Structure 1
Amino acid sequence: MANYTEDQMAEFQEAFQLFDNRGDGKIHVAQIGDALRALGQNPTESDVKKYTHQHKPDERVSFEVFLPIYQQISKSRSADTADDFIEGLRHFDKDGNGYISSAELRHLLTTLGEKLTDDEVEQLLQGQEDSQGNVNYEEFVKLIMSG
């Protein structure tokens, strides 16, 4: 079990209690994904099912059952690396040369996943385009992930 500070544990319990609609210290298995998201995680439904499959959907689980699920989701999500994002963008690299058009990247960033605004995309792409309007997506991802 990972060592969390008292403040972190209090935050986890507070988020958990938001979903405890009966006041019995338990939440429905179906609410686990929402509780994880309330704590800043972003699990897919398949991630949630992977860690909750042994419970019935209408079953209620305690905080003691929820916390290890949170830890597993947290651990697996932090494993997302630049390589994962590069691999995803590689599908849009029609020529296989490490570049995608900035227009296509703009479209992806404003319409898929956690959508960015046009201004946010403009800031991210500043100085990234070559003379043909293409972006080296490997360099782009590494720049973004380095903060």
Structure 2
Amino acid sequence: MLFESYEELEECFTLFDRNHNGYLDIQELSNALRAMGLDKSQSQVEKLLQSVDLHHRNEINIEEFSRLCGVTKPRPKITKQQLMRRIAKFDKDKNGFIEAGELRNLLRFNGDSVDEEHVEKILKDFDTNGDGKLSIEELAVGLLRRVNNN
């Protein structure tokens, strides 16, 4: 790996963004690659730039540079209480539990699968006290456990 952390990648990006516009143009990218020990021809650098330049501006931002380098930005940590507050917004009847319909809405909002089998599996797997109901806290704890195990 070229970078030990996302912070190192940010430092490199900032160092080679000579005009400080938040983008690396072809020359700045070429300089960065050379400094990283990757001596590429002009056409190779152009192909690399085009492969990650989502906005077709002939320059790349830090997210595109991180994708090129294979380094992902760490996700911010969320506390159980923060997650519970977010989940509570989907508790339409305000009873402290997330029913199947509310869970489907939450999953849709996050762009996740909403097939009935998936919903039922979450309801069953996250109901840790076995009362047949999924509390906001049980869902938050279950989601955090899955995120931290991946």
Task: Name the structure where strand makes up a greater proportion of residues.
Answer: 1
Name the larger-Rg structure. 2
TM-score for both structures, normalised by structure 2: 0.45
